[in-house]
Amino acid sequence: MILLIIAAKLGRCRRFCQFIGGPDLKKTKIAGFCIPSMALLPILCYPDRRLHTVAKPIAGVDARVAQLVRDMLETMYDAKGIGLAASQVDVHERLIVIDVSQERNQPLVLINPELVWTSEATHLNEEGCLSVPGIYDGVTRHDEVHVRAWDAQGQSRTIEAQELLAVCIQHEMDHLMGKVFVEYLSPLKRNRIKTKMLKAQREDAR
C-alpha cells in the first residue's frame, strides 16, 4: 500500500517539470532563459544567479499584481508545470501560483505566503522544477503544512495542505527565499546538474 502511494506521488511529482525538451517546442535564445517560445513570461533557468534573489513582500493587490498573477498562471499552464514562483520569472516578489488538479482548472494564488504550521512527519518526494528542466531528485518535505496568504483578491486565508499540494507549496516557497530544490542535494550532484544545465544552455544558444 505504502509503495503504491509513493509510486502515485512520484508519478504526480514528475509533472513539476514536464514542460520543455519536446522536439516540437521551439526554444527562445535569450541568454539565461530556457522557455518554450509560446510562454508568456520567460522562465529563468538554473544556475542563473537571479534565482537566488530573496523576494520582497507585496504591499497590495493592484492592477499590476493582478496582471502578474494572470501572466504567471498562463505561463505555468503553458509550461505544463504545477507551480511557479514569481522569482522564476525574474520578479522578486512574494507570489506563487499552483495547480495540482488533474483537470488543470483549480488555480491557487498565494501572495505573501507564510508557513504557520508544519507537521513533524516528513517524506522523501521526487521533485523537478521548471527552472531545472529534465532533472528529478528526492527532497524531504513536511507531509502537511498550513500556510497563510492573500488570494488573488487580496483576502487573507489559511490553507491546510497535504501530499502533493504540501510538497508544491514548500518547493515554491523555497524559490521566494532564493533556494532551488537542487540545493538540497549533495555538492557533487549539484555540480553535475549545474554543468549539464550550462551545457544545454550553450547548445540552445547556438
* Cell reading at 110: 498565494
Relative orientation angle of helices 2-13 and 163-176, to the nearest 10 degrees: 40
Which residue's CB is nearer to Zn ion, number 61 or number 86? 86
Q: Which residues contact 31 (CB under 8 A, 6 or more apart)?
A: 201, 205
Which residue's CB is nearer to Zn ion, number 48 or number 61? 48
Distance from C-alpha of 125 to C-alpha of 140, rounded to nearest angstrom: 6
| Cα 195 from chain centroid (whole Å) | 21
Our answer to whether residue 144 is catalytic in this structure is no
Q: Where are the alpha helices (DSSP H) in the chain?
A: 2-13, 63-78, 163-176, 187-205
Q: Tell me how far, at minimum, the Cβ of 171 lies from Zn ion, in Å.
A: 6
Q: How many residues bind Zn ion (CB under 5 A)?
A: 1
* Cell reading at 177: 527565499
Which residue's CB is nearer to Zn ion, number 14 or number 154? 14
Distance from C-alpha of 70 to C-alpha of 170, rounded to nearest angstrom: 22
Q: Tell me how far, at minimum, the Cβ of 95 lies from Zn ion, in Å.
A: 14
| Cα 160 from chain centroid (whole Å) | 19
Residue nearest to Zn ion (CB): 129
Q: Tell me how far, at minimum, the Cβ of 32 lies from Zn ion, in Å.
A: 16
74, 163, 172, 203: the catalytic one is 172
Which residue's CB is nearer to Zn ion, number 34 or number 129? 129
Q: Tell me how far, at minimum, the Cβ of 141 lies from Zn ion, in Å.
A: 13
Site string for Zn ion, 70-109 (x = CB under 5 A): ----------------------------------------
Q: Which stretch binds Zn ion (CB under 5 A): 65-73, 108-116, 121-129, 156-164?
A: 121-129
User: Is the CB of residue 88 less than 8 Å from the CB of residue 79?
Assistant: no
Of the candidate residues 97, 129, 145, 149, the single one contacting Zn ion (CB under 5 A): 129
**Can you give the binding site for Zn ion, defined by CB under 5 A?**
129
Hey, which residues are catalytic here? 172
